[in-house]
Structures are given as structure tokens and as C-alpha cells.
Amino acid sequence: MSGQVQYVSVAAPDGQVMGYAWFGSDGVGWADRKASSADAYKAGLEWYGTHVREARERGLAPVDILGRLGRESGVGPVTAAPDVAAVEELAGTVTPADDQRLIAALRRVDAAAWRALADAFDALTDEDRKVEWGGGQKNARGAIQIPYPLYGEALLHAVSALRNVVVTTEYRWSANPLPQLSSDGRLSPADAVRAAMALVLGERISEGMIDRALQNGLLDAAVASLRTWYEAAGAGTGHAAVAHEAAAPETSATAGRTPQYATHPLPHDTGNTITAPPPPQPTPPSANPYAQQPVPPQPGQPLYGYPQPGQPQYGMPPAPYGMGPQGGQPYGVPPQGMAPQPYGYPQQAPHGGQLGHEPCRFCGGMPTARVTFRAHQGFLILMRFLKYDGPMCGTCGTAVYRTMLTATLWQGWWSPFSLFIFTPFTVIWNLVARGKVSKLQRPAPGQHGQQKDPGKPVYQRPLAYVALIPVLWICFLIFQGIGGS
């Protein structure tokens, strides 16, 4: 949406800004803060659904909704922005408080995990760092297997040790870009957490990330930054100091002290600032409904960010495309008796079906369904088969469906086998896949990139009506046969 909009910031009770609700002449939306925690992300979506979406569904105008929000706690002043893009740019700002939340998570890691990380990476040899690739061969049916990295045991052990240190719900790695090395090849401790999480968890979505990070130095820079921080703050008096500060009673010197907030100007000239409070202090569980409370793992429940039973490990050959290694279990659907991964994204489809946990291959939005759309072309004695597959959101999936079905309807009839076999089955296949994406909720505003344009429905596309030619011809032959008999 273009044109000037107004927006308000929305903060959780602990002061963490969850996101921004924006209002324009013809729309209302939500931009979540990409650097927020998983808890703040979920709380922000709940807040938006309760205070904005429901009001909009009741028919309230944007200006009326905006007026009501001024009475809600945690809502900042109304501010003007030139367009929605400026609000989304603001939502991507990282504050010192965001860095401090990640540092606080590092302080909670026990010494044994830090020692295991150091030992695992110190033991790596140059040979361990060389990654071979498998796959790429053509099987008996002519299909080419997707290449995959073959990580050695020592490297897998090191990556597992890194995962034990950095994985935290304080950072939503899939909503943020991969941090880049500074000019001197270093990373700050907070960026080291961000990079390490993206590498060890993103490998499951984009195979070869760890291999590329070994080659460009990102993995070693992240580990070096983490170890340097721990040697300076963790291995010495860091853990003891944190424990002492958490247990120390309030004194006259600290009572009533106003926290020092960091402010960051908006990228356009509105005079607005982001207010970022210092890291929240320990509070009773009932004091802050949005605060993340440690929950001991239950028997059979997977830990956050860890590979689940039945899923392939790093460096193992993938199962047949779209299916898991155990009994044909599809990826993204937890086995019976196992809790879904708690990452803050919707786990259930609106009609009860399970959704995939992968971002859309086109826009990065969620929820998605893993589908395949096909197109068929017939050329007298030759034929051509096309397909788009992978996780797709409802909007991008609809766009691909309409494009592929239209191409099939006007190009798929011009050979004998195409006319009677391949084209009808292709049309049916696409209709089934369309049913999966049509049930998906649209990604929340601010949760996706540029989506594919669905364009006009198929029945409004003139080329689709070319399919009437073979249909009428077949009908003519049938009636002629009936008349002749």
C-alpha cells in the first residue's frame, strides 16, 4: 500500500516493543519487530487480533480503531509515516536491548556446554572441515536426486555443541537476515548468536549453509566471538555476578532509579523514536503474562531447535522428496505422541490439518503447504512437462496454480496422449493442490516479502477457453457416432 499512514508502537508489559499497528486511508495492518523474541511475536499477533482485526471485522473505520487504541496500555503515541514500507523498515531496527536479551540467554548456559563447544571446535582438523557432496545422480527412472552435503562426524559433533549454546527463543532466526562479518572479519557476541542460530537451524531448510559458512569464515567467526565473550564474562565472574545481582535486595541507591532507555530515530523525518528498555529483571511468573518462563522438558517432548526423532540428521542422505524417513511420514507433521516445535508460528491449519513449518519459497511468509503444481504441453508427437513445487503460502500458491492451469488448458491438448491422458490428469492434480493452499490463512502483515500476484481467476483468462476446442470436438465425434449408429 502506498501513501501516508499513521502508526502506533505496541509494547508488552515488560517494555519490549512487539510491533507496530498502522492505519491508512484504505487499510489496517501489523508490522512485528523482527528482532523481538518468539514470545513477543506471539503476544503481538494476539494483541493485533484482539484489538484491531476484530474491530475491523465489526465494520469500524481505521480512524475509529486508532482512537480506541489510545486508551490501551502499552500503546505509544500516534505517529505519521510516508508509507507502510517506512513502518516495516522501523520494525526491522535492532536496539541495544535486543542485543542484551541474547547476551542474557548466553549467561544462562552452563559451563559444561561451553567446555563442550571449545573442545569440539579445537578438535576439528582441516580434513574435518572439508565437506563432500552426495546426490546429483540420475536414477533408473531418470529422476535426478537433489545434491546434499555429507558432513563428517567431528563437524556434526561441533555443530551440535554450538546448538546447545546458542539456541534460544529470544531470537527469531527465520524472520531476520543472516548477519554479515564486519570489515575486520569479526562479529559482536549478539550477532554471533544470531549467525550461529541461523546456521545450525537453517541447515534443515537450506542444505549447505554450514558448508558455505565454513568457506566464508562466518561459522568460525561466530564461535570465536562466543568463546571470547565467555572467557571474559562467563568463565570468570560473569555467572556469579549475575546470580548475585538477581538475588540482591533493592537498596536506597537503586530504588526508584529511572532506567536508561536507548532511542533510535526513524529512517524518515517524523521525530519518532523507538524506546528500548534495558533487559527485564527477574519477575514472579504472574507479574508479566508475556515473559518467557523456563519450563522443564516433558518426557517425549522435543527440545527447541533440536532435530526430532524420525527426521534426517545433518549430512544424511534425504528421503524421497516430500516424505520423511520413517514410514512415509511427511516433513512438518510431528509423529503421534510428539509435541510440535514451539517456534511461535501457527501449528494448526484453519480446517484442522497440519501446516508446514517452512517459509514460502517465493515470499518467505507462513503458514504454508508443501504442494506441486504442474503444466503440460503437447506438440503433435512431442510432449513437455513443467512443475513448481515446495512450500507455498495461500497467495503465492494461488498465483502459481492459475498460471500453470491456464498454460495447460491452452497448450496441453495438441498430441494424442496429451489429449486423453496427461492433460486431464494434470488438471485434476492442480485442482487437488489448489485445495490445499486455499485453506491456508494469509500470512500476518509484515511477515512476508513480495508475494506473487495471483492475477485474474482462470475463468477470466481468454487463453483458458482454448480448452473448449478439443472438448467440443470430442462431443462432436460422440454425437456423430451416436447418429451414425
pLDDT tens for 200-228 read 998 888 888 999 999 999 999 999 999 99
pLDDT tens for 119-155 read 999 999 999 999 999 887 777 777 777 888 999 999 9
- Same domain? For 103 and 88 the reply is no
Q: Give the confidence band of 373 by pLDDT, cuts at 50, 70, 90.
A: very high
Q: Which of 410, 409, 414, 400 is nearest to 455 (CA)?
A: 400
- Same domain? For 209 and 151 the reply is yes
Nearest-angstrom CA–CA distance, 29 and 10 = 13
Q: What is the H or E stretch that residue 63 is in? A: helix 62-69
Q: Is 245 exposed, middle or buried (0-12, 13-18, 19+ CB in 10 A)?
A: exposed
Q: Which of 437, 406, 400, 408 is nearest to 425 (CA)?
A: 408
- Same domain? For 106 and 79 the reply is no
- What amino acid is encoded at 178 in this protein? L
Unique residue bearing C-alpha cell 522435543: 302
- Same domain? For 75 and 120 the reply is no
Other Cβ atoms closer than 10 A to 376 = 28
Q: Which of 269, 291, 275, 258 is nearest to 8 (CA)?
A: 275
Domain boundary among 93, 112, 138: 93
- Same domain? For 88 and 101 the reply is no
Number of domains composing the chain: 3
- Same domain? For 101 and 233 the reply is yes
For residue 9, the enclosing domain spans: 5-93
Domain boundary among 243, 277, 302: 243
- Same domain? For 27 and 109 the reply is no
- Same domain? For 124 and 38 the reply is no
- Same domain? For 140 and 177 the reply is yes
342 occurs within a structural domain: no
Which is higher by pLDDT, 469 or 314? 469
Handedness of CA 195, 197, 200, 205 (dihedral sign): negative
pLDDT at 408 over 50: yes
175 occurs within a structural domain: yes
Domain boundary among 243, 271, 297: 243
Q: Give the confidence band of 282 by pLDDT, cuts at 50, 70, 90.
A: very low
CA distances from 112 to 26, 104, 234, 265 (A): 56, 17, 12, 41
Quick one: average pLDDT of 231-241?
57
395 occurs within a structural domain: yes
Whether pTM exceeds 0.85: no
- Same domain? For 42 and 121 the reply is no
334 occurs within a structural domain: no
Span of 163-167, 226-230, 311-315 with lowest mean pLDDT: 311-315
467 occurs within a structural domain: yes
- Same domain? For 84 and 104 the reply is no
pLDDT of residue 445: 58
Span of 17-26, 92-101, 256-265, 416-425 with lowest mean pLDDT: 256-265
Q: What is the H or E stretch that residue 390 is in? A: strand 382-392
Is there a contact between 17 and 266 (Cβ–Cβ < 8 Å)?
no
203 occurs within a structural domain: yes
pLDDT tens for 55-75 read 777 777 777 777 777 778 888
Q: Give the confidence band of 117 by pLDDT, cuts at 50, 70, 90.
A: very high
Quick one: average pLDDT of 383-412?
87
- What amino acid is encoded at 325 in this protein? P
Q: How many residues does the chain have?
A: 485
Three-state SS for 9?
Answer: strand
Is there a contact between 47 and 32 (Cβ–Cβ < 8 Å)?
no
130 occurs within a structural domain: yes
- Same domain? For 113 and 80 the reply is no
pLDDT of residue 446: 54
Q: How far is CA 401 from the centre of its chain?
A: 23
Quick one: average pLDDT of 101-117?
93
192 occurs within a structural domain: yes
Q: Average pLDDT, whole number, for the chain?
A: 74
pLDDT of residue 348: 38
